Amino acid sequence: MVGSAGTRGFLLALGAALLFGASTPASKLLLAKLEPFQLAGLLYLGAALAMAPLVALERRRGVVPRLDRANRTRLAGAVLLGGGVAPVLLLVALRFALAGSVSLWLNLELVATALLGRLFFRESLGRTGWFGVAGAVAAGGILAGAGGWPGIVAALLVAAACVAWGFDNHWTALVDGITPASSTLAKGAAAGAANLALGLVTAPLAASAAEIAVALAVGALSYGASIALYIAAAQQLGATRAQAVFASAPFVGAGLALGVLGEPLGLAHLCAAGILLPSLALLLASHHEHAHEHAETWHVHSHRHDDGHHAHAHPGLSASTRHTHAHRHERLVHAHPHWPDLHHRHGHR
């Protein structure tokens, strides 16, 4: 159960990291003609455009969002902080520092997510998991030291963005009445429209139609597809572990900064990668087992029928086939190795 879900969650988070990592050097180039609010708006509108066909397909298949008050509040918080505030802070920081430096600072998102998960979101992280977090952070620290620290203003802006995205990570991992594609569409449309409107009010639009199209395309891939993949990963791994895998995104950004922008990279990056890979392995190996209770609930998310939690029947559908629909869980008490996914948010002493 943990193995199959963990592998799929790992691959989803890794794909999200590769796509998002490319956004930092791309945004650095786009900021030559676009103001931060304008670019943030276009990036998230691009994300919404990318998710619209997927959401339409889900509707045709009968998957309809059904959010209770708690999930509407979580989604609203994710839209405000993750879609509205964090990207603007990051893009303003890019005005003060090199793309490679800002990419490396994004490792702070892992720290913020882990600490917020421990303090506010009932995520248990054992000794092995904390070693994995520490290793991923150390890898980012090696790179940051090798590339030189960005200015104080840029560092504070990136840190604030990472805290905002840390809350976003946990809220989206807990939203279970809406699919990742629908969640990303809502975030992209609302936050994108708001930021673009603010950007147009505060400064004239100087970008060409081609540059606007590029910004939308970057948003579609680096924010739209990336966010949807990350949400799916976080629902299976928990926000902290998914964020640990996602911590490879700064390495992608730094590598592209070298190839595209000509920014310096050196031997320290190879050393950091050598620390990051086993650290991710430690995080994936970190789970625990104890007797726990699942209360009766109703929700919508991607699932299989061979995971020990989904016993409802679908005639003609293999138990290993992953699918999405609204379903109800009966009360269940059992013990098995698990992570803090959608079904395991119980407390730990």
Confidence at residue 337, expressed as pLDDT on a 0 to 100 scale: 52
Is pLDDT larger for residue 115 or for residue 297?
115
pLDDT 10s digits, 103-158: 878 877 877 887 788 778 766 677 887 888 788 778 877 766 666 666 678 888 99
Is 241:284 a contact under the CB 8 Å cutoff? yes
Mean pLDDT of the chain: 80
The rounded distance, in Å, linking the Cα atoms of 227 and 13 is 9
Q: Where are the domains of the chain?
A: 2-289, 291-311+318-338
Confidence at residue 272, expressed as pLDDT on a 0 to 100 scale: 79
Map tokens 């505060």 to a residue.
202
Confidence at residue 254, expressed as pLDDT on a 0 to 100 scale: 80
Q: Which two tokens stand for residue 113?
A: 């997510």
Per residue, the 3-state secondary structure of 303-322, as one string, reads ECCCCCCCCCCCCCCCCCCC
Of the candidates 196, 182, 150, 271, the one whose C-alpha atom is nearest the C-alpha of residue 45 is 196
The rounded distance, in Å, linking the Cα atoms of 25 and 253 is 6
pLDDT 10s digits, 220-236: 999 999 988 888 887 77
The rounded distance, in Å, linking the Cα atoms of 78 and 191 is 10
Beta carbons within 10 angstroms of residue 193's beta carbon: 14
Confidence band of 1 (pLDDT split at 50, 70, 90): very low
Is 75:174 a contact under the CB 8 Å cutoff? no
Confidence band of 345 (pLDDT split at 50, 70, 90): very low
Task: Determine what percent of the chain is predicted with pLDDT higher than 90.
Answer: 33
Confidence band of 298 (pLDDT split at 50, 70, 90): low
Is pLDDT larger for residue 45 or for residue 320?
45
pLDDT 10s digits, 175-200: 877 888 888 899 999 999 999 999 99
Residues belonging to the chain: 349
Is the predicted pLDDT of residue 273 greater than 60, yes or no?
yes
Confidence at residue 47, expressed as pLDDT on a 0 to 100 scale: 95
Q: Which two tokens stand for residue 157?
A: 């802006």
The rounded distance, in Å, linking the Cα atoms of 252 and 260 is 12
Q: Which two tokens stand for residue 88?
A: 């603007």
DSSP line for 158-196? HHHHHHHHHHHHHHHHH--SS-HHHHHHHHHHHHHHHHH
Is 107:137 a contact under the CB 8 Å cutoff? yes
Is 300:176 a contact under the CB 8 Å cutoff? yes
148: left (phi over 0), alpha (psi -120 to 50) or beta: left
The predicted model scores a pTM of: 0.74
pLDDT 10s digits, 27-64: 999 999 999 999 999 999 999 999 999 999 989 988 87
Task: Of 11-15, 274-278, 299-303, give the lowest mean pLDDT range.
Answer: 299-303
Q: How far is CA 220 from the centre of its chain?
A: 14
pLDDT 10s digits, 92-115: 999 988 888 888 788 778 778 877
- Please measure the distance between the N-terminal and C-terminal CA atoms of the chain and give it in whole angstroms: 24
Confidence at residue 227, expressed as pLDDT on a 0 to 100 scale: 84
The rounded distance, in Å, linking the Cα atoms of 123 and 177 is 20
Q: Which two tokens stand for residue 191?
A: 């936050």
Confidence band of 211 (pLDDT split at 50, 70, 90): very high
Alpha helices in 69-220 (DSSP H): 69-77, 86-94, 99-105, 108-120, 127-147, 152-174, 180-202, 209-218
How far are the Cα atoms of 71, 118, 135, 155 from residue 18, in angstroms, in the given order?
28, 26, 20, 23
